[in-house]
Amino acid sequence: MRRAVLALGLLLAAPLLVAEPAAAATPAETFVGDNIQKGLEILRDKKLSVVQRRDQFKALLLGLVDTRRIALYTLGQYRNTASPADIDAFAAAFQNYASAAYQTYFSKYTNQTLKVTGSTQRNPTDFIVHTQLIDPGSSQQPAAVDFRVRTDGGRPVLVDVAYEGVWLSLAQRDQFVNFLGQNNGNVRTLIAHLSDMAVNLGKPSN
């Protein structure tokens, strides 16, 4: 669970990390690396208010991450029995939850270094970009972070992230399917649960 939460934070906060350049980068690697830099520039813009910085980050991130695609995947078999209205409502709730999680976790990664180390092409439109998360203040080995990039929609989007081998979407699907199994497959109950978590994540920590 802890790794899944950290993976969500990394997926949504990837543009906030300091990027190290990679030689002869592929388009997928460039997509990941360039957008990290864009997020960093917003973060460092002292002319922006807290609200402006948050909103600009949110707009950037939601333009990079296909939250609807991820949301539908995490419903598992319950996607087949949910009504179109419930699916749309769940996708919206998932997006709000993801955005709230990003807003909570992004500040933890601003001093980290995300180094792109290469990529693997799974098929013509599916890539895994391999990176290392390096903490300059720690003597521990860098953490392995992989980003899955899809281009079948005509433009590159982030659809998943793995932290130390744990894929976020798989972990979330297991959690959500288990929750739905305990609640008679009621997607609206899961929607309410996600909405509550989004509200709690958005509350000040002190």
Closest CA to 71 of 82, 56, 59: 82
Closest CA to 181 of 76, 84, 71, 98: 76
pLDDT in tens, the chain (206 residues): 555 555 555 555 555 554 454 455 788 999 987 886 677 677 677 888 878 877 887 888 888 889 999 999 999 999 999 999 999 999 999 998 887 776 665 556 566 777 889 999 999 999 999 988 887 887 888 888 899 999 987 889 999 888 888 898 899 999 999 999 999 999 999 999 999 998 887 665 55
Query: Helix-strand-coil percent breakdown of the chain, rounded to 5?
Result: 55, 20, 25
Q: Domain map of the chain by residue range? A: 2-198
Question: Please, what CATH class does the domain formed by 2-198 belong to?
Answer: alpha beta
Distances (CA, A) of 105 to 6, 10, 148: 8, 8, 20
Buried b / exposed e over 176-195, threshold 16 CB at 10 Å, is: bbeebeeeeeebeebbebbb
